[in-house]
A and B are shown apart, each in its own frame.
Chain A
């Protein structure tokens, strides 16, 4: 193992496993840490102070915190496809071989060329870019913006596909608890003992929250012992689930919560069959937010110098990780709690340079600590820090009363007090309320079912956290209907917490409010001067609080400074709206397994695998895979295959899987009346054993869907929809049945998946079907006329349905069998049809033949066409009411100059016609005023031996024979076409009736 000694590691203590050393690399240099370290604690243990560069000025930055609120210590973690930009070193668990790199610097962290930005700092104030870069106009995209974009951003994304897997899961509970500190564990105890189903989420990999760093005595036991006893009790309860490495990030409606579990981020890569992260949707009757509080910095000049650290974070590094951020520590506090860092530092044998306390009074106990520790207590504030990328060197102090002092130290711990973590409780636009005694916002207006407890609720004492957490857990369980005995709450003493609010210390040099976005106190003042006084304007103008930490350490200080300069109180100034997620969450986790081929489900037709064996090319149609054409050896392109298929049908017989059509059983005595109301034409008068084409409108009078419906019995119709609209039509019909026409006795069932349905088409269809169908069945024109529909027996006894309908214009039947027989039917058709040259055909050939026949389909049923536009206006019954009848009569929908379906063919037979070309009158220059329509569908017609198409053209049907232009500037084409009858093939329909 490589790597130097851990120069800043205490010789004992800490929750690290010294028997498990781990080597890791940072910026190419190898170090050693221990199991139980974070990357931040391991860097500290190795004496690394400089870990990153800031966003705008590229100032050197160190580690400020020990949690997910970290604004500075962002790294690129891992390499290659797994590179994760902006990873908080404070949250990255150390593992063997970890690789991390600092970001936003060039060429290196120590010598960052972009630090030149600091020279321009006088100009680069908040919003400077709104005032310049305007001339010359073209320079923005060409010069200024690319430069700004390169300079901005933080880390680099991998830029190649994420190789890891994610999934998503649901969980349900009575009581959901965020946080495993004293309040969270107490809540879990109370709720669990009451019999509630409990889920506790903890973002850390260890349970205990601040107890892990600050210790304490609970029920007479040292904190660590109390934690193990509590965890043992929770484990023994039947329905308490504890999820570590899991952050509750959002609350949604109806008691749904979002959580992200970092399942395997603590390993170099996920083990086989496992995911990297899992997104949890947790449904909870009640939620106790015991997410603690966040210590806040004080804004003073040089407060971003590496080595300046939150006081509580310093305790965490020393106590939990046995790592010492500094050898000689100064402490700057405005409150009682900050002093605990002095106690911790002394206990760990560190030198204390001084404690700078902004309050007027320092307690006798602390005075005696100072004399015991041999350090001075300065009444005053830190007004400046000397140092740089190598860390803090000297600290300037403005003493109360005006004197100045200097303190030499290599680390400065800062405590400006604590802010309850009000994110989760505020995500439903609840505004937290100000509490003077802690000078902080506490939750108010939390979403239904959610309550905050402990430090998250502004109760900072250990005893108070336990009491509040326990009470909240018991109440939540009771609200959820679980009323078992909760027993007694754990107890502990409450520490004193008194503070004198202090947000900003005047001084020379940049004083940072938002470290990550380089927003300074003077930026806030400038924003106020320019009228950006609303906190939302402040945020947007200066970008304060918009960085990856979402302002967890900066928002309150920013608005406190704004309040001061605008002469308002902090609560009058107000907070910005809090927005989820509480911590940034990988986009991959939200997607889960819905990516690549599994982005959406795939629907397969009954003949799919058979078609695949034939080498079919498939096309995506909605969720379906449909055979598009069946290439044969030697065919040079799709057109040759499709042409062959069309010719085979027109000259012999072919078949095509049409199982994708929506199929609906419409049952009941009123089925006919029901269909009369949903279609523009009548079905109640359809004879049993017959089929009829129907057209359906929306209530706004425009065409919704079409299809063939057959009457199989007096009270049983079999309705088909287009493939695209199958689900929607079912929903629409259910709406009609349940809401619009509840008086009709009709029942609807989707049978789309029950039937394998094939169109068998071509002049030899009857010859082929005779081989398949029981000889007793009469398939003659008399026995089974055009538009007939009935059940028949097949050879071998299987029952099938035959429908004599044709989309191709040929003599054709659709045959359907129960779906598990679908593949057998195809094989039997192939076998029986061999003598007739039976040819399977795909959706392309289907499309060719429908265009040749002038049948409308998806491109014409585009949601803006009327029945008359499609040439089907005569189908509209005048004898009955139906959906869309009244609105269909509006003036613009019956105007004579509407674009209507017409046939289109190039005058030059060799010309290829393309969909999307527009129709312009001959001899005119194309413009908006003479754009008369467009080509909707095209095909190469083997029958006519030229490209043909359908179009929607103004007054098209009156203009048959007119020569116009197909104008297609996108493809650089403009050519003459003739408007013609849309039925190109067999216009009197003799073939399909024959």
Chain B
């Protein structure tokens, strides 16, 4: 009677081929899949939005985002995902659903989304030109500054988009959570959109 190994496989396991793609020369876009994260949806119960915010403050030291923004703390990001709800993105199990359930027991309903999404980080000199083909929202630096977040759609698929801290070279970074079963399809669409600018493809285990 064998013990089984439970190997995880990203939905992009096969579609993602690390390396260059598209037009040659300096890549205008870099696409990095960030794998194996914990993601928990926190939704306030009726009349408990303030309690949920308080619980978040107690747990994370910051208030839960009350408008479309992503709040970065040392070991997690709290990303607004709708009215009176947010996502907790983290690594390593510290803020996984089992760990959070106590903190929010009296104020919110929790749902594990760790496996429901794929996380892709997008940057590069042409990142906005490429995203303009996918996203109908205005990503101009003045309209979508660092920390801005959006629950929106790309290619008719729901996504969560937020702007992380700029790269050390000053390039903007956009983080994208996409539904797992759509991920491969959207990935190919992203490659199509970025190909003319040249793409660098990578995978990572680190949250940006």
Contact = CB atoms under 8 A, between A and B. Distances in A.
Direct chain A–B contact by Cβ atoms under 8 Å: yes
Contacts of A624: 181
Contacts of A976: none
B61 to A, nearest CB: 25
Interface in B151-208: 155-157, 179-182, 184-186, 188-189, 192-193, 195-196
Contact of A603 (B46, B137, B155, B181): B181
A823 B135 CA distance: 31
B5 A172 contact: no
Candidate in A624, A751, A794, A819 with the most chain B CB atoms within 10 angstroms = A819
A669 B195 CA distance: 50
A659 B5 CA distance: 21
A598 B192 contact: yes
A139 to B, nearest CB: 48
B111 A168 contact: no
Contacts of B126: none
A745 interface: yes
Contact of A604 (B41, B181, B189): B181
B73 interface: no
Q: Which of B115, B135, B136, B189 has the most chain A CB atoms closer than 10 A to its own CB?
A: B115
Given A273-B22, A667-B111, A796-B3, A172 B138 contact: yes
A832 B7 contact: no
Nearest to A610: B9
Dominant SS among interface residues on chain B = loop
Nearest to A666: B109
B111 A593 contact: no
A751 B9 contact: no
B182 A832 contact: no
A753 B180 contact: yes
A824 B43 contact: no
Interface in A750-774: 750-756, 771-772
Interface string A590-611: 0001000010111111100100
B132 A170 contact: yes
A821 B182 contact: no
A705 B132 CA distance: 37
Contacts of A602: 184-185
A598 B189 contact: yes
A169 interface: yes
A281 B8 contact: no
A170 B116 contact: no
Nearest to B181: A603
A21 interface: no
Contact of B111 (A272, A665, A795, A821): A665
A749 interface: yes
Nearest to B158: A750
B4 A795 contact: yes
Contacts of B136: 170, 281, 283
Contacts of B36: 820
A828 B6 CA distance: 9
B2 A751 contact: no
Contacts of A819: 11, 115-116, 180-181
Given A667-B43, A824-B8, A753 B138 contact: no
B81 to A, nearest CB: 10
A876 B72 CA distance: 50
Given A172-B143, A272-B23, A820-B9, A668 B45 contact: yes
A772 B3 CA distance: 8
B116 A828 contact: no
Chain B interface residue number, banded: 35 or more
B95 interface: no
A601 B45 contact: no
A605 B133 contact: no
Contact of A169 (B110, B133, B137, B184): B133
A590 to B, nearest CB: 15
Interface string B1-43: 1111111111101100000001100000000000010000101
Contacts of B123: none
B124 to A, nearest CB: 15
B45 A818 contact: no
Nearest to A603: B181
B115 to A, nearest CB: 4
A606 B14 CA distance: 12
Interface string B109-152: 11111111100000000000100110111101001000000000
B99 to A, nearest CB: 15
Interface string A773-806: 0000000000000000000001111100000000
Contacts of A669: 45
B9 A824 contact: yes
Nearest to A748: B43
A251 B200 CA distance: 37
B181 A605 contact: yes
Contacts of B1: 771, 795
B179 A753 contact: yes
Contacts of B45: 668-669, 745, 747
Nearest to B178: A753
Contact of B186 (A601, A771, A821): A601
A745 B23 CA distance: 53
A593 B135 CA distance: 14
- Considering residues B14, B138, B181, which has the most beta carbons from chain A within 10 angstroms of its beta carbon? B181
Nearest to A775: B1
Interface of B: 1-11, 13-14, 22-23, 36, 41, 43, 45-47, 108-117, 129, 132-133, 135-138, 140, 143, 155-157, 179-182, 184-186, 188-189, 192-193, 195-196
| 5 A-B pairs with the lowest CB-CB distances in the bound complex, closest first | A667-B109, A754-B116, A753-B116, A749-B111, A745-B46
Interface of A: 167-172, 197, 239, 272-275, 281, 283, 593, 598, 600-606, 609, 624, 659, 665, 667-669, 715-716, 744-745, 747, 749-756, 771-772, 794-798, 818-824, 828, 831-832
20 contacts: A170-B132, A170-B137, A274-B196, A283-B136, A593-B189, A601-B155, A665-B109, A667-B111, A745-B45, A745-B46, A747-B43, A747-B109, A749-B41, A753-B115, A753-B180, A756-B115, A772-B4, A796-B4, A821-B6, A828-B6
Given A593-B192, A609-B13, 19 more contacts: A167-B193, A170-B135, A283-B138, A601-B157, A601-B182, A601-B186, A605-B181, A606-B11, A749-B109, A751-B111, A754-B114, A754-B180, A755-B115, A756-B115, A795-B4, A796-B6, A821-B7, A823-B7, A824-B5
